[in-house]
Structure 1
């Protein structure tokens, strides 16, 4: 077990010494949702820049390959922001109304 994971387990154990009650399980797991690390965001952006042409689907596919989960809107935006910071021509951050 990594030190990071051990800290999470210790935190949960301290908060729930008798075990996590049923109603608290879903919200607790939601707090522990996987998020790309800064290094992973950089790696995804680097791979996309090396490819040359890509779209949001490509960003999502690379994130899925790393996390084995569907990409979150937040992680896609973090990659897009990283690409924009590196001068990659994007159409700007996604307008929430575009996804409606």
Structure 2
């Protein structure tokens, strides 16, 4: 992948690495994907998840990424989980999700 989309996704991954330097906690992974889906397409979310897994920052391996995205699509996390992750991201300067 190259061009503006690659730069955008690289920016998201870089920001997540900064926001979660020790990796994304398992309980935050699905709510994080749910929040990212409000700003990115499913393919973009999958690419970000693959990048996080490759960098060892996600609790899921490559084989688990599609399952995680399906969980986001089919059974959204609780509002408390989303609020917790949103607060974590906002604290680190990630723009709010007005969508």
Q: TM-score range by the shorter chain?
A: 0.3 to 0.5
Which structure has the higher relative contact order (CA within 8 Å, separation 6+)?
2
TM-score, structure 1 length as denominator?
0.45
Larger Rg: 1
